[in-house]
Amino acid sequence: MRILLIEPAVYTPEGLDKREKRPSQLISLTLPYLAAMVPPEWEVDLVYEVCEDLENDYDLASYDLVGITCQTIQLKRALEITRMVRACGTRVVVGGPVTVEDGHGLVPVIRRFADCVVVGEADVLWRHVLDDLRRGQLKEVYQSHELVPMHDHPLPRFDLVDFTKIEPPYVLPSFTARGCPRRCTFCSEFLYSNWRYRPVDDVAHELLQYRDRFGIPRVVFRDDDFLVFPKRSKELLGRLRGEGIEWGCQTDFNLARHPDVVQSALDGGMRVVSFGVESVREKNRVFTEKTFFTIPEAEDLLLRLHEAGVETQINVIFGFDWDDPDVFEETYDFAVRTKVSRLFLSILYPIPGTPLYEHLRAEGRLLEERPQGIDDPLAVTFKPKLLTADQLVDGYLDVERRFAETDRSHRAYWLGQDLVVV
């Protein structure tokens, strides 16, 4: 059997987003992880389409199955690929977050283009897909409501990644937990998975294999909130101390209230950290239920980490109800004042199934009721309260441009690349 696993590129207003090499920090975990579950006697190829020529470099007809992992923003390209694959007579399966959002509303659409759809976490379901493929009895939909076990995960097949198409320095993804303990009103993470942890022993063993087997001692933890549980964080970080492993993560500013965890993280190899500020306006953060930190606490922590040589990254969303034209300057000033290395901006997207979406629908402010970003990543799909749609987009672009032009010689640790995965 031959399996081809694909992560599609994304369409932008300028066309399909393609580049010569993929940033190392954006190697996703999904493809190597699924490949690790394929029987060892089968052949598996991985395609990160953003830096590969799928049509010309791969003979789609030579595979027994093509698997596509897909977020909503990748759906347009994913459906194009499914049509190409089926035209070659090869079966195709689609899975990923796109199958969960909007109350599984896109599953019927995907089924029209794919031979089968995997809904939700694929860990257990993927094995059933492969068994049925072997028997020639592939089902149309695979879905399970059981929680996937968090122990004894296979070592991801990073040996299948073509690192000649990846920018150095190489950084491998890992995870210590799934889901998120927070319930931010704009976020859809709670739709995908309950919050639960892997055993510390499993994680520590995996990271040492990354270092020893693949020769890559740099890791990005894909947890939504890596340092949220102080006792467990200190246990894992104590295991990493002295092992020569450097790492980055996403976490929240509640960390400012745990200086002992901050020190454990620094001692345990933290080099890059990404925080979700979401908004510099207090009323916005109350609405999003991000009340577990204050802006002064965030400033103090960012400056402490900067002084310790850690690359800091923050994420900000524009378009909340208390954003007016002044919010753009306030955000830019905050980013410069706190000496952050990277500023990731986005326009608010109401995701079906979230409290934010229901809030805007109840007020009659939704402009369209479909998943965002399929055609234009900067589309404003709701009526902002204190801004026009043009002010929202123009303000976003202005802050992005000004910050990019700001002298930030301190910015890079791992070449200043981002931690936020597509």
Question: Domain holding 82: CATH number?
Answer: 3.40.50.280
Residue 149 lies in a domain: no
Residue 157 lies in a domain: no
Contact 150, 198 (CB under 8 A): yes
Smallest Cα–Cα separation from 21: which of 172, 170, 166, 169?
Answer: 166
Question: How many Å apart are CA 50 and CA 77, to the nearest integer?
Answer: 11
Residue 8 lies in a domain: yes
The per-residue pLDDT for 371 is: 54
Contact 199, 172 (CB under 8 A): no
The per-residue pLDDT for 408 is: 58
Q: Does one domain contain both 284 and 390?
A: yes
Domain that holds residue 372: 169-405
Q: Kindly state the tokens that stand for 31.
A: 């493809």
Q: Does one domain contain both 328 and 203?
A: yes
Q: Does one domain contain both 135 and 176?
A: no
Going by C-beta distance under 8 Å and a sequence separation of 6 or more, which residues neighbour residue 256? Answer: 262, 293, 297, 298, 300, 301
Q: Does one domain contain both 113 and 189?
A: no
The number of angstroms, rounded, from the C-alpha of 137 to the middle of its chain's C-alpha atoms is 33
What one-character DSSP code corresponds to residue 257?
G
Q: Kindly state the tokens that stand for 255.
A: 């960390």
SS3 state of residue 89: coil
Contact 356, 362 (CB under 8 A): no
Each residue's pLDDT, cut to its tens digit, for the chain (422 residues) gives 999 999 999 887 778 888 888 777 668 899 999 999 999 999 999 999 998 999 999 999 999 999 999 988 899 999 999 999 999 999 999 999 888 866 677 899 999 999 999 998 888 899 999 999 999 999 999 998 777 778 888 999 999 999 999 888 899 999 999 888 888 888 877 666 678 889 999 999 999 999 999 999 999 999 989 998 888 899 999 999 999 999 999 999 999 999 999 999 999 999 999 999 999 999 999 999 888 899 999 999 999 999 998 999 999 999 999 999 999 999 999 999 999 988 999 999 898 888 999 999 999 999 876 555 455 668 899 999 999 999 999 999 999 999 998 865 455 566 444 444 33
What one-character DSSP code corresponds to residue 42?
S
Going by C-beta distance under 8 Å and a sequence separation of 6 or more, which residues neighbour residue 394? Answer: none
> How big is the CA angle at 217 (ends 214 and 220), to the nearest 5 degrees?
105
Residue 103 lies in a domain: yes
DSSP letters along 104-145, please?
Answer: HTTHHHHHTTSSEEEES-HHHHHHHHHHHHHHT---SEEE--
Question: How many Å apart are CA 190 and CA 182, to the nearest integer?
Answer: 8
Residue 413 lies in a domain: no
Question: How many Å apart are CA 292 and CA 252, to the nearest integer?
Answer: 9
Beta bridge partners of 95: 69, 118
